[in-house]
Amino acid sequence: MKRIKTLLVMCGMVVVLAGLLVLVRNLAGEKEGSDTSDTGSADTTYTAAQVDIDSLYLIEYNIGQDKYRFELSDSKTKWLWEAEPSLPLDNTYFASMASALRVVTSSVKLEADESSLSAWELDNPWLRVTVADELFGEQTFMFGSLNSYTGRYYFITGAGDGFAYMVNTSVAQMFDLTPYDMVMHDKLPDIPADRLRTLSFSRAGDELKYTYYEAGKDDSADTDDLWYVSENGGEETALDPEIAADIADAINRISFTDIAGYSEAEKEVLGLLSPTVMTVEYVAETSVTDSSGSPVKVNVDSSFVLYLGYADDEGNICACLPNSPLSYRIDGSVLAKLFDFPVTPVGQ
C-alpha cells in the first residue's frame, strides 16, 4: 500500500513538471507574441541580415524621433553627415556599425504574421536602420521589443520574407550615437619644452612675443636668461624665470576635449571671429630616408596657429584651429599669465 502511494506521488510530480514545461514554452513564445515555430534544430544558425562592408556607402538610423543619415565621401575616405557635411566624424564608429551588420545571425527563426509583428513591436520598431552597398543594394532592418527570456531583440528585414529573428543586443547598440558623439576631435602636436622656440600673441595689430635662446643671447652676460619677451617688435627683455617656466606648461595644458561649438556660426559668441592669434614655433623631429634607404631622424622647423577667444570666470578660454569648424574650452589658467584675454561680454 505504501509503495502504491509513492507511485501516485511520483506520477503527480511528473504531471506538474510537464505542466511547468508547457508554461515555460508558452512564456518564451506565445506570451511574447511568438507562434513558437522555431524552424530548425537547436544547433541551427540562420543569417538574419548581411551587408557588404567593402562597398557600403550609406547608413541611416533613428534615435527616438531624430533621424541621422550618413554617406561615404566621394574620395571614399570619410563619412559625412548629410545635415552638416563639414562636421568631422571619426571613421572608427562607422567601421563598428558596418561590422555589426556584416553578418547578423540568429539561432531563432519565427514565422511572422500581422498579429505577431504587433506583439513584438515590429509594426512600429524603436530602431530602423537603412544601409546601402553595391552588392546587396539598399536594405532596411528593424528592431522590436526585447525578449526578457532570451535577452535578445526581435528583428526583421524590410525584404518581407515572412520571418522574424532574435538577435544580440550588441547589434543595436552600435546605433545609439548622434553625430556630435562621433566627432573627430582636433589635435595639437606634442612639443617637449626644450624644443619650443617662440610663442606669440597677436590681437588688433599688437603683438607680444616670447623668444627662446638655447644658449642665451649673445649680448647677455647671464646665460641663465633663456627666454625673452618683446612688444610689437621692440627691444627684448629677459623674462622672469618663473614666468618662463609657465610657457611650456601653458601649451601642454591645451586639450581639445571640452567642445564649445560645432560650426562656424557658433564662433561669434565665443569671440573667435575676431580672435587673439597664438603662434607657436618649435623644432619637430621627423623620420626621412637617406641615400642608402635607411630611416634617419632629422629636426624640422615647425609651427602651429591657434585662435583664442573670450575667457570666462572659471579660467577657461575659447579656442579653435583656423580651418576647423569645432570650438573648444581650454584651460587658460596659465595662458592668462602670459597675455591679457578679453572676457565674455555681459549679456552674451
Report which of 189, 199, 321 is spatially closest to residue 259, judged by C-alpha positions. Answer: 321
C-alpha separations of 19 from 9, 30, 37, 76, 193 in Å? 15, 15, 20, 59, 76
* pLDDT exceeds cutoff 60 at 38: no
pLDDT score for 28: 42
Q: Are 90 and 83 in contact (CB under 8 A)?
A: no
pLDDT bucket at 89, cuts 50 / 70 / 90: very high
Over residues 39-53, mean pLDDT: 83
Q: What is the CATH number of domain 193-338?
A: 2.60.40
Single-letter amino acid code for the residue at 223: T
Report residue 220 as a C-alpha cell.
647677455
Residue percentage of the chain with pLDDT more than 70: 84
Q: CA nearest 232: which of 191, 203, 266?
A: 203
Say how far apart CA 140 and CA 49 lie, in whole Å.
Answer: 10
Residue 143 pLDDT exceeds 90: yes
| Residue 20: band (very low, low, confident or very high) from pLDDT cuts 50, 70, 90 | very low
How far is residue 303's CA from residue 82's CA, in Å, rounded to a whole number?
A: 34
Mean of the per-residue pLDDT values of the chain = 87
| pLDDT reported for residue 21 | 40
Q: What is the pLDDT of residue 289?
A: 87
Reduced 3-state DSSP string for the chain: CHHHHHHHHHHHHHHHHHHHHHHHHHHHCHHHCCCCCCCCCCCCCEEEEECCCCCEEEEEEEECCEEEEEEECCCCCCEEECCCCCCCECHHHHHHHHHHHHEEEECCEEECCHHHHHHCCCCCCCEEEEEEECCCEEEEEEEEEEECCCCEEEEEECCCCCEEEEECHHHHHCCCCCHHHHECCCCCCCCCHHHEEEEEEEECCEEEEEEECCCCCCCCCCCCCCEEEEECCCCCEECCHHHHHHHHHHHHCCCCCCEEECCHHHCHHHCCCCCEEEEEEEEEEEEEECCCCCEEEEEEEEEEEEEEEEECCCCEEEEECCCCCCEEEEECCCHHHHCCCCECCCCC
Top pLDDT among 34 and 293 is at 293
Please report, for the chain, the start and end positions of each structural domain, with discontinuous segments joined by +. 37-180, 193-338
